[in-house]
Structure 1
Amino acid sequence: MKLVVLACLAAVAVAAPQLQDNQPVVAILRDDRQDNGDGTFNYAFEADNGIAVEASGSPGSQGQSNIQGVYRFPLDDGTIAEVRYVADENGYRPESPLLPTPHSLPDHALAQIRFAEEQRALGVVFE
């Protein structure tokens, strides 16, 4: 019996979260949550390390949750990154100056697209 108790205590000690020397403890400054029970909700979370999240949601027309929100986190240079987003029946759409944008199409590709549109307008069909 003593061996079982000792084994359980050893298992608890091994499973306990271990803090790294270089990992500071993060304090939670704000944790507000509201669920209205009808599919609408709001939450806001903020930690002392600069991470913050806010979102609000409502039921969507196709059974999904429609959510609008923002999340922020500190960058290595000390500035704060911010991403605003909408998630609904049209998918997830983030907005931030940090997100990569596609390169513009070269002129020859734009010319080919215009030519194809002109042919479609004339009724040209390729089989």
Structure 2
Amino acid sequence: MKIAVLSCLVAAVSCAPQFQRPGLQDRDFIAILTDDRQNQGDGSFNYVFEAANGIRENRVGSIGSKGQSNMQGTYFFPLDDGTFAEVRYVADEFGFRAESPLIPTPHPLPAHAVEQIRVAEDQRRRGIQF
């Protein structure tokens, strides 16, 4: 009887899931080349990260005017065509602002709209109100 129970336990353990995500193989893991973090403890810090697949980030934090931690940095990631995207950003008391050629921008205003805005500003300066 003990052998039967032991056999059932061994069978149950060998059939247990191996806790690996579906489709993920050992070759799918990306090596971390750099992970350097320096925290001064007062809201200022430095952070540098780089992975073997080309993903990189560097970030610097400093004390903000209202006690918050302001940040600025850059991150890179590979695109499907083999090139790399670069995004530069600043996060401070004025919000998060990112710059990259990949971020869509609004179309420029047509010339007649620019002229209307100029006329309205000129009228405002001269005190004309409607």
Q: TM-score range by the shorter chain?
A: 0.7 to 0.9
The residue identity in structure 2 corresponding to 1:77 is D
Q: What are the ranges of 5 or more consecutive residues in structure 1 without an aligned counterpart? A: 1-5
Q: Does 2:21 match 1:18?
A: yes
Q: Does 2:66 match 1:62?
A: yes
Counterpart in 2 of 1:28?
Answer: 32
Q: 1:14–1:109: structure 2 CA closer, same or farther, 3 Å change rule?
A: farther
Q: 1:19–1:46: structure 2 CA closer, same or farther, 3 Å change rule?
A: farther
The structure 1 segments of at least 4 consecutive aligned residues displaced by more than 2 Å after TM superposition are: 13-17
Instruction: Name the larger-Rg structure.
Output: 2
CA contact (8 A) 2:43 2:68 kept: no
Q: Percent identity?
A: 61
The residue identity in structure 1 corresponding to 2:76 is R
Tell me how far apart the structure 1 counterparts of residues 107 and 21 of structure 2 sit (CA, whole Å).
Answer: 45
Report how many aligned residue pairs link the two structures: 118
Q: What are the ranges of 5 or more consecutive residues in structure 2 without an aligned counterpart? A: 1-8
Q: Please, what TM-score do these two structures have when normalized by structure 2?
A: 0.79
Tell me how far apart the structure 1 counterparts of residues 67 and 24 of structure 2 sit (CA, whole Å).
Answer: 46
Q: Please, what TM-score do these two structures have when normalized by structure 1?
A: 0.80
How far residue 115 of structure 1 moved from its aligned partner, in angstroms, is: 1.5
